[in-house]
Structure 1
Amino acid sequence: MKTFERILIKLVVIQFILLVCSQVLIQQPQIQPYISRVVQYEGVNKITITEWIETFNN
């Protein structure tokens, strides 16, 4: 049982590290268009911020 607990703890630590790394990557504006397809599907990747806000106000 002790080896199972060590493996489980290692998996949790690795999962946490991967989660933090992915969150840091998502926050980078240079990488965001490549990993976030929502912007491509919505079609708002080439408009300015005022045009973007106007779309949500309508």
Structure 2
Amino acid sequence: MKRGEGILIKLIIIQAIALLFFQIIFHYSDAFPELKRLTMYEGVSKDNFTKVIETFKLP
């Protein structure tokens, strides 16, 4: 049982390192320019705060 848990812990650590590595690569490289354009189109990359207009009539 301890051997299996050790293998799982090693796999989790390797997975986390790979995730961080690829996130850094994709964030700083121009690997997917379409994805960057999509986030700019949807307004996710900027700190745009707009007022919400209430359309419901409160009693």
Q: Percent identity, please.
A: 34
**Structure 1 unaligned runs (5+)?**
45-51, 54-58
**Structure 2 unaligned runs (5+)?**
42-59
TM-score, with structure 2 as normaliser: 0.53
User: Which protein is bigger by CA-based radius of gyration?
Assistant: 2
Deviations 1:4-44 (CA, angstroms, capped at 9, x unpaired): 0000000000000000001101111xx22xx32x618xxx6
Supply the RMSD in Å over aligned alpha carbons.
Answer: 2.5
Higher RCO, 1 vs 2 (CA within 8 Å, ≥6 residues apart): 1
TM-score, with structure 1 as normaliser: 0.53
List 4+ stretches of structure 1 deviating above 6 A: none
Q: Is 1:3 matched up with 2:3? A: yes
